[in-house]
Amino acid sequence: GAVVSQHPSRVICKSGTSVKIECRSLDFQATTMFWYRQFPKQSLMLMATSNEGSKATYEQGVEKDKFLINHASLTLSTLTVTSAHPEDSSFYICSARATLGGYTFGSGTRLTVV
Amino acid sequence: QQQVKQSPQSLIVQKGGISIINCAYENTAFDYFPWYQQFPGKGPALLIAIRPDVSEKKEGRFTISFNKSAKQFSLHIMDSQPGDSATYFCAASLYGQNFVFGPGTRLSVLP
């Protein structure tokens, strides 16, 4: 089946630094990538939607200058958390939609900002 | 309009019992209703999904029941096992669009 590889699985960074999270579709082409954030014991909240080769669309309340999304190819999308602060600590998950339909989630990245 | 409600928030079931989780949606344009299973520290994994032209779908021990007129759908887990202990999310979407997730149900299956 379709697999989305997400890295890193865990990252701890100092406040003020930037962190990049990668999602790769391993055996299919992802026309659309969704990025979610999940706080402990809560549901997944959509942060942004990106289509290959175009700018991401951010949900209301999500700072586009803080959460930089790049979807440069049909197999790779990245989320960069810039100038991270402790309140950005969360579980970040990507989801890829294949060209023929179907959605696959990555395994998630646990970000801890200290 | 975009909200998906889910209940119960948590559920405890004995091994071998039936686990039932319910969801309700508002947007009648939704045309895809998946259920996801998530273990701690992992991303959600698709369990089973249904489209509104079908009233029931069964895959192994997992069954979705769909009531279009009531705008409700439910997940039934038959012969629940301790390994089924996880958080379950229902979701709804328009084809090609992002999912709207329910708040989740934490299922614990006692041995």
Cα separation of B9 and B105, whole Å?
5
**SS (HEC) of chain A:** CCCEEEECCEEEECCCCCEEEEEEECCCCEEEEEEEEECCCCCEEEEEEEECCCCCEECCCCCCCCEEEEEEECCEEEEEECCCCHHHCEEEEEEEEECCCCEEECCCEEEEEC
pLDDT digits (tens, 9 = 90+) for A2-58: 899 999 999 999 999 999 999 999 988 888 899 999 998 899 999 999 988 888 999
Model pLDDT, residue A98: 77
Total beta-carbon pairs less than 8 A apart between chain A and chain B = 44
8 Å CB contact of B98 and A110: no
A97 touches chain B (CB under 8 A): yes
- Residues from chain A that touch B101, judged by Cβ atoms under 8 A, are 43-45
- Residues from chain A that touch B104, judged by Cβ atoms under 8 A, are 41-43
| Bridge-based pairing state of the strands B10-14 and B105-110 | parallel
- Residues from chain B that touch A34, judged by Cβ atoms under 8 A, are 98-99
8 Å CB contact of A46 and B45: no
Model pLDDT, residue B30: 92
A42 touches chain B (CB under 8 A): yes
When pLDDT is cut at 50, 70 and 90, the band that residue B34 belongs to is very high
Model pLDDT, residue A16: 97
pLDDT at B1 over 60: no
pLDDT at B95 over 90: no
pLDDT at A72 over 90: no
- Residues from chain B that touch A25, judged by Cβ atoms under 8 A, are none
Instruction: Name the residue with higher pLDDT: A111 or B99.
Output: A111
Model pLDDT, residue B96: 65
Report the gap between the CA of A108 and the closest CA in chain B (Å).
5
Of the given ranges (A24-28, B37-41, B96-100), which has the lowest mean pLDDT?
Answer: B96-100
Of the given ranges (A43-47, A58-62, A86-90, B97-101), which has the lowest mean pLDDT?
Answer: B97-101
Model pLDDT, residue B63: 97
pLDDT at A109 over 80: yes
